[in-house]
Amino acid sequence: MPRYIAITDIHGELDKLNNLLSKLNTDKEDIFVFMGDYIDRGPDSKGVVDRIIEQSNYNKCIYLIGSHEYALLHAKTDDYYQFLFDNYGGPATEKSYGSFNNIFKTHGNFFNSLKFYYLTDKYLFVHAGINPNYPLEEQDEVDLVYIRNPFIYSPHKLPQKIIFGHTEFEKPYISSDKIGIDLGCGKYRNACLCALILDNKGQEEFVYSD
Does 142 have pLDDT greater than 90? yes
CATH code, 4-208: 3.60.21.10
Q: What is the pLDDT of residue 201?
A: 86
* pTM higher than 0.85: yes
Q: Work out the angle at residue 90's Cα, subtended by the Cα atoms of residues 84 and 95, and round it to the nearest 5 degrees.
A: 165
Q: Domains of the chain: which residue ranges? A: 4-208
- Of 11, 14, 5, 13, which Cα lies nearest the Cα of 62? 5
pLDDT in tens, 8-24: 999 999 999 999 999 99
CA distances from 166 to 57, 59, 65, 133, 144 (A): 27, 24, 11, 20, 10
Average pLDDT score over residue span 179-188: 97
Q: What is the pLDDT of residue 39?
A: 98
Average pLDDT score over residue span 27-37: 97
